[in-house]
Structure 1
Amino acid sequence: MTAGSAAQAGQHARRRTELLAAGAATVTVVFWASAFVSIRSAGAAYSPGALALGRLLAGTVVLGIICVVRREGWPPRAAWPGILISGLLWFGFYMVALNWGEQQVDAGTAALIVNIGPILVALLGSRLLGDHMPPRLLAGMAVSFAGAVTVGLSMSGGDGGSSVLGVVLCLLAAVGYAGGVVAQKPALGRASALQVTTFGCLVGAVVCLPFAGQLVTEAADAPLSATLNMVYLGVFPTALAFTTWAYALARTTASRMGATTYAVPALVVLMSWLALDEVPGALTLAGGVLCLAGVAVSRSRARTPQAAVAPDTLPQPQPEPEKT
């Protein structure tokens, strides 16, 4: 194989990897957006801790079965620090804090505060992981955050019902999310996406075990629809979406993946419109468009112009041999 064909094959492989990672990220944001609709239903019957534990148990069972079928085995020892930290902060603490916070503040305020998370991911990723922060990424995050602010303000009740506790809980959820993502990134260099997700989910479930009594009591009285929504949260937005997230995160930077989640508010608006018949206003739609536009900018790459060939690298004409 010539050097040119080898370089072309490498470009094709990189392009294929980028497309697969983008597809995995898309699956993640779609299911994470759907989680907000399901949480609204299940949260009426389950308390924050019980809902988080039930979701994590369902996710752990599904992921555990897949691991056994695929014979994944235990993650290497070097991956465990990242798995433990991400399991504690993201799968455990984040889910409980967010569920609790959303009971204290309106949906718009919660969405507004939690969307600080991707900015924290970018800052921590740059500081701790050495992530590059290209201008397009920064610009895209700025546009998306403006869209998230617009969506949040348009959906806020404005009745003064947001408590200080709820605001603090949503802020802590954003911090837990950011810390979990940054801790998960190094682990993905030592273990597979499925291993990191499975054992992170298991760690989160163990952290939430103190809520087991509440889960048993509330499950006995909860309507079937609420329980099915809790199981759905565990199977799809947790087991599937966290695995596709880890797959994509292993192939890009934490900052770029964090920016991708700004598509979630726009999808939540659309899903609430379709599933709950909540017709969004013009301001909400405008915010959703800004979110998607910012994600598109942050995921794009600047075109690299082909370098001009230096004159001294051009083939020089060879003198003809003298005739004898």
Structure 2
Amino acid sequence: MNLRRSDLTAVGAAGVTVVLWASAFVSIRSAGASYAPGALALGRLLSAAVVLVALCALRREGLPPRAAWPGIAVTGLLWFGFYMVALNWGEQRVDAGTAALVVNVGPILIALLGARFLKDPLPPRLLAGMAVSFAGAVTVGLSMSGDGGSSVLGVVLCLLAAVAYAAAVVAQKPALASASALQVTTYGCLVGAVVCLPFAGQLAGQAADAPLSATLNMVYLGVFPTALAFTTWAYALARTTASRMGATTYAVPALVVLMSWLALGEVPGPLTLAGGALCLAGVAVSRSRAAARQARPAKAAGPV
């Protein structure tokens, strides 16, 4: 019973992450009109750091153990640093829905890296699902190629962000074996903020001229999609495999399309949507066999 309650808590934490990360694509698009990619990343990380450090102080969580620091450093450099700058830059050149769809090639890379470095299982059906999802990512990229070089650059930046994100997740998983989710998130965020400090002058100059709505979007990005969502992500990741957690983020594109339509009036074209559908179909293929296998022995207990 306790195990099932723990599993449900992890699923709930993953759900919080997915919803807040979906909202981040829309907020980045809005704030990016007034803040440059590096300045926006630094402002977001500083806002998150204030919240996370305060939470660590309230919970009296000290420094992470030495064994966790390599994973924290890689996570801070690649995910909180490089990923956020690349994603901000990419979202200035593609719409929010397309950015979310392209970045979601990340779970495929997580599965491959997880199999290599974390010994996560990689059955044939998962490989087939990844192939379908990769075809979807290629379709999304091709759908943008007719909009000119800047749009192609946007897709490339989002793909680079996906690579950084995947590598960071695989590095983060071992760190969670010896440090708490809050510690890993807090110190990863601080590492990312240090990496982005060269943009401090740019942030100060643009904050003086930016409209209040853009600054509030930047603060929102720090408090919710970063401080809260990265912590709930780490909490859930500590309780499952990296590849399985990565697959949960395939719910993000559908939410982003809806949010960007409501907030920004942006809807990706038919080819982009078709690519997103292929990504989701690939996840369904990759997970169907595992679901069937788990359902048979647990028949008497009912669904989780």
1:249-294: CA deviation from partner (whole Å, max 9, x where unpaired): 1111111111211111111111122223445666666665555555
Residues paired across the two proteins, number: 295
Shift of 1:14: 2.9
Query: 1:259 pairs with 247, 250, 262, which one?
Result: 247
SS at the partner of 1:162? Answer: helix
Instruction: Give 1:69's aligned amino acid.
Output: L
Q: Aligned partners of 1:118, 1:279: CA distance in 2, in Å?
A: 23
Structure with the higher helix share, 1 or 2: 2
Matched with 2:259 is: 271
Shift of 1:170: 2.8
Instruction: Give 2:103's aligned amino acid.
Output: V
Instruction: Give 2:242's aligned amino acid.
Output: A
Superposition pairs of residues 130-209 of structure 1, within 5 angstroms: 130-135=119-124, 137-145=126-134, 156=144, 158-162=146-150, 165-209=153-197
Query: 1:217 pairs with 196, 205, 208, which one?
Result: 205
Query: 1:66 pairs with 41, 52, 55, which one?
Result: 55
Query: 2:29 pairs with 6, 21, 40, which one?
Result: 40
SS at the partner of 2:150? Answer: coil
Shift of 1:143: 5.0
Instruction: Give 1:127's aligned amino acid.
Output: R
1:12-55: CA deviation from partner (whole Å, max 9, x where unpaired): 33322222221111111111110111011100000000000000
Q: Report the structure number with the largest CA radius of gyration.
A: 1
SS at the partner of 2:33? Answer: coil
SS at the partner of 2:122? Answer: coil
TM-score, normalised with respect to structure 2: 0.86
Aligned partners of 1:48 and 1:100 also within 8 Å: yes
Instruction: Verify: 1:13 aligned to 2:2, yes or no.
Output: yes
Q: Aligned partners of 1:145, 1:137: CA distance in 2, in Å?
A: 12
1:156-186: CA deviation from partner (whole Å, max 9, x where unpaired): 4832243665454333222211111111000
Aligned partners of 1:53 and 1:209 also within 8 Å: yes
SS at the partner of 1:303? Answer: helix
Matched with 2:105 is: 116
The answer to which of 274-283 and 51-60 deviates more is 274-283
Q: Aligned partners of 1:96, 1:140: CA distance in 2, in Å?
A: 29
Aligned partners of 2:76 and 2:187 also within 8 Å: yes
The answer to which of 174-183 and 292-301 deviates more is 292-301
Q: Aligned partners of 2:90, 2:265: CA distance in 1, in Å?
A: 24
SS at the partner of 2:92? Answer: helix
Instruction: Give 2:226's aligned amino acid.
Output: T
Matched with 2:292 is: 302
Identity of aligned residues (%): 83
TM-score, normalised with respect to structure 1: 0.81
Instruction: Verify: 1:78 aligned to 2:74, yes or no.
Output: no
**What is the CA RMSD across the aligned residues, in angstroms?**
2.7
Instruction: Give 1:303's aligned amino acid.
Output: R
